[in-house]
Amino acid sequence: MEITCLHCGQRAEATRELAGRTVECPHCGGQVKVPQGLFAADKGDKRRKLYEYAVSAASTLVIHAILLVILGLIYWGLTQGRGFEVGEVGIGQLPNEELTAHDDSQLEAGEEIAAAPAMELEDDFAEIATPVEPLDEGLAISPIVPSGGSKAGGAGGFDAGPAGGAAGFGLKAKFMNVEAEGRYFCIIADASTSMTGPKLEFVKAEIIETMSGLKTDARVYVIFFNHRAQPYPERRWLAKSERQSVKDWMQRQVVASGLTYPVDAFKIAMSLKPRPDVIFLMTDGEFNPPVPPVPPQIAALNAGSKKVTIHTIAFVDRVGEPELKQIAADSGNGTYRYVPGF
């Protein structure tokens, strides 16, 4: 494939073996990172991923079958003449005659105790019974690799391990080397005039790499902005398998132009159903027009008892750092990171 040098703007050929590595530009000698996300995985990777999905689906079916048998046995026991006596659930061996001799309130308490084990098992069953999304065989599956923004965390940035987000999902996403937890991730990326050329192409590759690294149940949505918002045409959460559609849209329609004003993009992000768990905001400059200030407008859109975590990224130029830090801080668990280049 061809890559564009960030330093001189010249194009050069790069082979698959160089994916993810930093190489020297043959024209000017500058250091250029070859994006991993633009290369499709080889057939061996695809076969491995298909095997992993098959094993996961088979394991889930076996667990479901075992739990259904257990629930069936419990139901059968409850509907037979013997039933589940109180002593069988560890409360103490009380004969049926003694139970019937007491008033109705004692009998009802015994019935609630007998029903408890079945309820707990049903809750466990609901947690384990996670649906398996079919694999789209028409798309290659890229391996999960470190993000292209390998120089992230330069001077002045602060980072909090994996970044905050909706706890309890066990799902993560990484964009420009900023990692966050949640299920629904929205990327708001700068496409103003200052992003013209290699910088915008690098960000597009990072978005594809983010989608390639998603787990099956995670979802993403992409919005570019200049002085207006340019969202992905379909206003819905996108699965990992739809990354080729996102790539085609970016290549055909997303070009750098205009000023830098992300508020309209945030209005779209906050209107998504369900609301994002995490928003990644990246820009290479300061916001304009500067009046009214952008951070308070975003904070107002993010008001409520459950705020969306916003992680902000200054790319190449850190002139917008104060505003980006404020946006991240206003969201509660947000972090700021400076990415100096490729």
Q: What is residue 125's predicted lDDT score, i.e. its pLDDT?
A: 35
User: Is residue 112 located within the same domain as residue 158?
Assistant: no
The token duo for 163 is: 């970044």
In a domain, 316, yes or no: yes
Angle of helix 43-79 versus helix 104-128 axis, rounded to 10: 170
Total of domains in the chain: 2
User: Is residue 169 located within the same domain as residue 122?
Assistant: no
Domain boundary among 128, 158, 182: 128
User: Is residue 254 located within the same domain as residue 314?
Assistant: yes
Q: What is residue 70's predicted lDDT score, i.e. its pLDDT?
A: 84
Q: What is residue 99's predicted lDDT score, i.e. its pLDDT?
A: 38
Which residues does the chain have with pLDDT short of 50? 41-42, 81-168
Query: What is the number of residues in the chain?
Result: 342
Kindly tell me the number of DSSP H helices and DSSP E strands found in the chain. Answer: 8, 12
Q: What is residue 49's predicted lDDT score, i.e. its pLDDT?
A: 64
SS3 call for 242: helix
The model's pTM is 0.56
What CATH number does the domain containing 240 carry? Answer: 3.40.50.410
User: Is residue 75 located within the same domain as residue 159?
Assistant: no
Domain extent for 168: 143-339
Pick from 331, 26, 152: nearest CA to 5: 26
In a domain, 18, yes or no: no
- Could you give the CA distance from residue 214 to residue 275 in angstroms, rounded to a whole number? 18
User: Is residue 173 located within the same domain as residue 243?
Assistant: yes
Check: CB of residue 213 under 8 Å from CB of residue 185. no
In a domain, 213, yes or no: yes
Check: CB of residue 340 under 8 Å from CB of residue 316. yes
Cis peptide before 292 (omega within 30 of 0): yes
In a domain, 272, yes or no: yes
Q: What is residue 247's predicted lDDT score, i.e. its pLDDT?
A: 98
pLDDT digits over 113-153, tens only? Answer: 333 343 343 444 334 333 434 433 333 323 333 333 333 33
In a domain, 327, yes or no: yes
Q: What is residue 282's predicted lDDT score, i.e. its pLDDT?
A: 98
Question: What is the residue whose two structure tokens read 């905050």?
Answer: 164
SS3 call for 293: coil
The token duo for 50 is: 């298909």
The token duo for 96 is: 């049926």
Q: What is residue 327's predicted lDDT score, i.e. its pLDDT?
A: 98
User: Is residue 235 located within the same domain as residue 212?
Assistant: yes
User: Is residue 176 located within the same domain as residue 59?
Assistant: no
Domain boundary among 128, 158, 193: 128
Q: What is residue 73's predicted lDDT score, i.e. its pLDDT?
A: 79
User: Is residue 56 located within the same domain as residue 201?
Assistant: no
In a domain, 322, yes or no: yes
